[in-house]
């Protein structure tokens, strides 16, 4: 009788053994995926945006092109600018000052996509033309504006950034109401050709 029990105990414990072995192997692969590789290229640029407000036509580098039914195209809508679509052609510099020499342009759009949270969805191209870099980088992603840092994906590029893939970390450096903001873009590329 003892012999029968021990063999049935062995059989009933073997599925548990294989389950835990499978779980251990799965967790091991998950841990390996979490380690970030070292970037193959990185750069930092500053994005300066001046929104047209009806009075600053000469200095504006962005404009509201669509607004919700209750809004208009010179003042961002409430609540949380929801429904506004802004197109921009903004200068990029290598330091915080707008007066410093531009190294390119940020061109694209952002749209405010939430009534509950102050956030935007970004789709734009960095057009770089400096002694250090020539080419474009395409970026896209969700931007929760009140977070200290946010990340958007680098999904492609041309020139020095041919088929680049990576992450751009956005940090708000300054803002003046809804008319001006300056962001620091810390770009790390993980696929470079």
| Residue 82, CA atoms < 13 Å, CB-side half-sphere | 9
pLDDT for residue 34 is more than 80:
no
In the chain, what percentage of residues exceed pLDDT 70?
84
pLDDT tens string 114-171: 989 999 999 999 999 998 899 999 999 999 999 999 999 999 999 999 999 999 999 9
Judged by average pLDDT, the poorest of 94-98, 115-119, 182-186 is 94-98
Q: Using H for helix, E for strand and C for coil, what is the string for 80-130?
A: CCCCCEEEEEEEEECCCCCCCCEEEEEEEEEEECCCCCCEEEEEEEEEEEC
């Amino acid at each position: 009788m003892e012999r029968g029990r021990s063999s049935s105990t062995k059989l009933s414990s073997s599925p548990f053994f294989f389950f835990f072995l499978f779980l251990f192997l799965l967790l091991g692969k998950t841990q390996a995926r979490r380690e970030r590789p070292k970037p193959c290229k990185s750069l930092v640029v500053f994005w300066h945006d001046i929104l047209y407000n009806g009075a600053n036509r000469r200095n504006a580098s962005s404009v509201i092109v669509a607004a919700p039914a209750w809004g208009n195209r010179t003042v961002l809508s409430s609540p949380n600018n929801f429904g506004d679509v802004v197109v921009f052609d903004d200068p990029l510099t290598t330091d915080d000052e707008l007066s410093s020499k531009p190294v390119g342009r940020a061109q694209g759009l952002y749209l405010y996509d939430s009534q509950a949270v102050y956030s935007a969805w970004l789709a734009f191209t960095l057009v770089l033309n400096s002694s250090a870099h020539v080419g474009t980088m395409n970026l896209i992603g969700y931007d929760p504006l009140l977070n200290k840092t946010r990340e958007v994906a680098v999904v492609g590029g041309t020139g020095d950034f041919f088929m680049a893939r990576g992450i751009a970390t956005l940090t708000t450096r300054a803002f003046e109401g809804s008319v001006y903001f300056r962001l620091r873009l810390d770009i790390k590329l993980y696929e470079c050709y």
